[in-house]
Chains A and B, each alone.
Chain A
Amino acid sequence: MKNVIEIDHLTKTYGKARGITNISFNVEEGEIFGFIGPNGAGKSTTIRTLLSLIYPTSGSAKIFGKDCIEFAPEIKKEIGYLPSEVFYYDNMKVIELLKYSASFYKKDCTKRIKELAEIMDLDLTKKIDDLSLGNKKKVGIVQGLLHEPKLIILDEPTSGLDPLMQQRFFELLEAEHKKGATVLFSSHILTEVQRLCDRVAIIKEGEIVAVEKISTLQENNYKKFKIHTKANLDADYFNLAGVSNLVVNNDTVSFLFRGNLNSVMKKISDVEIANVWIDEPDLEEIFMHYYVKEA
C-alpha cells in the first residue's frame, strides 16, 4: 500500500514551549487515519507543519511522496483542510468566499459547492460575519471539500456541529473515502474516531505513544475484568503483570488486563466469586490507560 503521508522524526519546538518531539508515522492511501490526543498534545502543530504553515525544527514529512515544504504549492492542489478554528473574511458572503476558495484550483467547482451546501444545509447568501460558530464550521467543510481533494485533513472537525450535522458530515466523509480519498482525522473525541477510522496514532505531550489499528486496540490487547467476590480481598491480590487501572472497592475488583488470560483465570479460580464480567474495553478506557500508564 502506498503512503500518502510519511512523517519522519518530525520535531518542532517553540522557544521554551513544547511543540512536538520526534514524531513518525505513515498514513496509507485510502485509509481514514485517526490522530488522537488531549488538547495541547501537539495534533494541530503536526498538521500545521504538514501544511507548511510552520516549519519543523528537525525531521521531515512527505505528502504524495514529495517533501511537504519544498513542494508545498504543488501538493496543496490535492489537499483539503478544515482547521480546528474557522476564521474567514468577515465582510464576504458565503458564496463569495467559496468562489474565492475555488478560484485557487484549476477546475470548475460550482456544481460541487451547490451539492455540498445542500447536504450541509448551508445558506450561501449570508455574510460570514453573521454566521454562528456551527455555520462557520459548515463553510469550512464545504471549503475543504469543494475541489474534491485526494487528501482530506481535518483538525477537530466536529466541534460546534449539532449531532444531525455531525452525522451528515460523517456520511459525507465516508462517501469521499469510498471515492478513494485519504483522510487524516484529528480529534480528542474517541467515539468519532472509533466509528470512522481504520488506524489511529495516539499522541501525548508531543510524542507518539502508539500507532495501531482500531480493531487491534479494541479486541486483541485488552480485556476489561470486573469481579464480585464473596469475601473482601487483599488489595494487591490481582496486582500481577499485565494488569492496569486496578480498582479495589471492598468486594468489587475491576482492572484492564493484557497478556496470557490463563494466569488471571487461575487467580480468579482461587477465590470464591459471586459474579464476573469480562468485556472488550471501549477506546476511552484504552486511551486513559495510555495516559495513566506513563503519567
Chain B
Amino acid sequence: MNIYWKEMKTYRKSLIFWSIGILLMVVSGMSKYAGLSSSGQSMNDLMADMPKALKAIVGVGDLDLNSASGYYGLLYLYLLLMATIHAAMLGANIISKEERDKTSEFLFVKPVSRNSIITSKLLAALTNIVIFNLVTLISSILIVGQYSKGEAINGDIAITMVGLFLSQLLFMSIGTGIAAVKRKPKTAGSLSTGILLLTFILSVAIDLNEQIEGLKYITPFKYFEPKNVMYGGGLDPVFVVLSVGMIVALFFVTYVFFKKRDLNV
C-alpha cells in the first residue's frame, strides 16, 4: 500500500489541475449555449448551413443543439478528449517514470515483486481516473442542469459517463501496455497520445466518409458516441465487450511484459 499512497500523492496536484480544467470546460461550454439559445435564432438552422466536414470536426453531427442535452452531447466530445488524454498519459507515465527518472534502482531493489509494484500503480491510476470521472459527472449534472429547463438529462449524462469511464480505462491500459513493452521510457507517453490522436482523426474521417464505416471498430472514439448512447440508446453491447476485452488483454500485456523485461537502468 505504501507505493499506492506515494503515487496518489505524486499525482494529487495534476489531478486537481485537470479537475479545474473540466469544471471550466463545462462552465464555459454551457454558458455559450446560454448565449446562443437566448439570441432567438435556432441553432439548428445555423448548423444546417455549415459544411459537413466542419460539423464532423467540431463534433456536432446530428445532435439537436436547441436542447441542453444536445448541446451537452457536443460538449461531451471535448470532455472525452480531455479524459482520454489524461488517462493515456497517466497510464504511460505511472509505469515508465521510474525508469525515466532513474529511480528504478531505488524502487525495484526493495523487497516487493514487480507484479505487486504494477498492481499498486494500476490501482493508483484507477483511483485517479475514477475521481476524474466523478468530477466530470458531478460538474456536468450540476451545470447542465442549470440550463435544462426541466428536460430530464441526468440519466443521459450518467450513461455517457459510463462510456467515458470505459474509454478512460481503455486508453489508460494502452498507456500502461506500451510503457511495459517499450524499453525506452521517454517514448511511452508520446506514443500513447499519438495513438489517441490517430484514432481520433480516424473517427472524424469516418464521420466524413460513410464508406469506411467498418473501421469504427478500431477507434474507441466511435464506441460510445452521445448521439447513440443518449435518448434511450444505451451502450452498444458489442462495443462494451470489445473495450472490456481490450482492457483485460492490455493489462495482461502490462503485467507479463513488465515482469519479463530488463529494466532500463
A residues with a Cβ closer than 8 A to B are 48, 51-55, 72-74, 76-77, 79, 81, 83, 85, 87-91, 100-101, 103-105, 143
Contact = CB atoms under 8 A, between A and B. Distances in A.
B111 A143 contact: no
A103 B113 CA distance: 15
Q: Which among B109, B111, B260 has the greatest number of chain A C-beta atoms within 10 A?
A: B109
Interface residues of B, number: 20
Interface in B48-94: none
Contacts of A103: 2
Contact of A74 (B2, B109, B111, B263): B111
B113 A53 contact: no
A72 B108 CA distance: 10
B2 A104 contact: yes
Nearest to A103: B2
Given A53-B265, A103-B2, 9 more contacts: A53-B104, A53-B105, A53-B262, A53-B263, A72-B113, A76-B109, A85-B102, A88-B106, A89-B10
Contact of A54 (B106, B110, B112, B263): B263
A48 B265 contact: yes
A121 B113 CA distance: 33
A52 B111 CA distance: 11
Given A53-B263, A73-B111, A87 B106 contact: yes
B184 interface: no
B111 A76 contact: yes
A5 to B, nearest CB: 15
Interface of B: 2, 6, 10, 101-106, 108-113, 116, 260, 262-263, 265
B110 A104 contact: yes
Contacts of A52: 108
B121 to A, nearest CB: 14
B27 to A, nearest CB: 31
Contact of B103 (A54, A55, A89, A105): A89
Q: Which among A74, A81, A87 has the greatest number of chain B C-beta atoms within 10 A?
A: A87
Nearest to B116: A73
A54 B262 contact: yes
Contacts of A72: 113
Given A87-B103, A103-B2, A81 B109 contact: yes
A76 B110 contact: yes
Nearest to A48: B265
Contacts of B101: 87, 89-90
B2 A87 contact: no
B262 A79 contact: no
A178 B54 CA distance: 77
Nearest to A44: B265
Contacts of A81: 105, 109
Given A87-B102, A87-B105, A87-B106, A105 B111 contact: yes
Contacts of A90: 101
B109 A79 contact: yes
B90 to A, nearest CB: 17
Nearest to A45: B265
In the complex, the 10 A-B pairs of residues with the closest C-beta atoms, listed nearest first: A87-B102, A54-B262, A104-B110, A76-B111, A83-B105, A77-B111, A103-B2, A73-B113, A81-B109, A53-B263
Contacts of B6: 100
Contacts of A77: 111
Given A73-B112, A100-B6, A143 B106 contact: yes
Contacts of B10: 89, 91
A105 B103 CA distance: 18
A81 B105 CA distance: 9
